[in-house]
Amino acid sequence: MKRTALIFSAPGRVRLEDEELPDPAAGQVQVHSLLSAISPGTELLIYRGQFPDDLPLDESIPELQKKSAYPFKYGYSLVGRVAATGSDVPSEWIDRLVFSFHPHESAFNCSPQSLIPLPPDISVEDAVFLANMETAVNLVMDGQPRIGERVAIFGQGVVGLLTTALLAYFPLAQLTSFDPLPARRQASLSAGAHASLDPSEPGMPTRAFPGGADLSFELSGTPAALEQAIKATGFSGRVVVGSWYGRKRAGLDLGGHFHRSRIRLVSSQVSTIDPQFSGRWTKERRFSVAWDMLRAVRPSRWITQRAPFHQALQAFELLDHTPEACIQVILRYT
């Protein structure tokens, strides 16, 4: 059969390409895609040519364990339905809804062990947020919020909103988010932020935290926001850096407030679990929590565009040129 794949062909260019897809081999299943989510962080870095060429596309996803060199496929949040099985695969896999860390393409063959079956009570549109919800769970675990703390979150894209929604369950004294885009600030309030402010307003964000934040999350993807997060954080506070800047450099003033404030910078990346938790936590346990949080948060309310797969080029152009109109853009295959 034929399948259609999205190819990142050069900076600022994607194309759709038809390919032959064989029947699934022994031990494989064939998945027909229903939805995939475009990451407005990592995928825009790739689309804009800002991805470091000395790193694998992703060290934890088998299909992406190669260096970035155009043209290539990318994507990691796809929901589909198992349409066929090879030999040695139980027949109950047929017609099962599954999540896959797989690039954007209309169908693919894989091992069933690489798929995550959808719980029956979670819609496909909520399930497509699983990868980013796992990231948000990991961020909260790395930040370790405590009762009564003042928490700042920089960036209210998809990961920022999900992290805000999780932090809203904690008994915090203050949960304030920052984003320059009004639509995202409004979404942040709906996620549970006590306040959501424009970081470019005079005196922001330090004015929002007169005594300094106890815990700050930098999730904007903008290096300048990291310096804002440091300045807003109080003595002996923590700054969790969840953004990935690609080739963008972060110029920081570390000679003043940071130098004397014993601020701790924490790198957070979802591919691994903090060693202090790994004795009890596995990826499977973290996924179980992520599914529970999808049930609670129902993030499909933040889907702003549902583009047919054949309009993928326009979807990337929309994200690149009009971010104020977008929160989560998904591609539909049927």
Q: Mind listing the pLDDT tens digit of every residue in the chain (334 residues)? A: 999 999 999 999 999 999 999 999 999 999 999 999 999 888 998 999 888 776 655 555 555 445 668 999 999 999 999 999 999 999 999 999 999 999 999 999 999 999 999 999 999 999 999 999 999 999 999 999 999 999 999 999 999 999 999 999 999 999 999 999 999 999 999 999 999 999 999 999 999 999 999 999 999 988 899 999 999 999 999 999 998 877 777 777 787 788 889 999 999 999 999 999 999 999 999 999 999 999 999 999 999 999 999 999 999 999 999 999 999 999 999 9
Q: State residue 58's pLDDT score.
A: 56
Q: Which residues contact 285 (CB under 8 A, 6 or more apart)?
A: none
Could you tell me which of 106, 47, 50 has the C-alpha nearest to residue 223? 50
What confidence score (pLDDT) does residue 55 get?
61
Name all domains of the chain by residue range, CATH numbers in brackets. 2-118+301-332 (3.90.180.10), 131-267 (3.40.50.720)
DSSP string, 37-79: EEPTTHHHHHHTT-S-TTSBS-SSSGGG-SB--SSB-----EE
Which letter does DSSP use for residue 201 in this model? S
Output the pLDDT for position 57. 56
Q: What is the pLDDT of residue 253?
A: 77
In contact, 4 and 17? CB cutoff 8 Å: yes
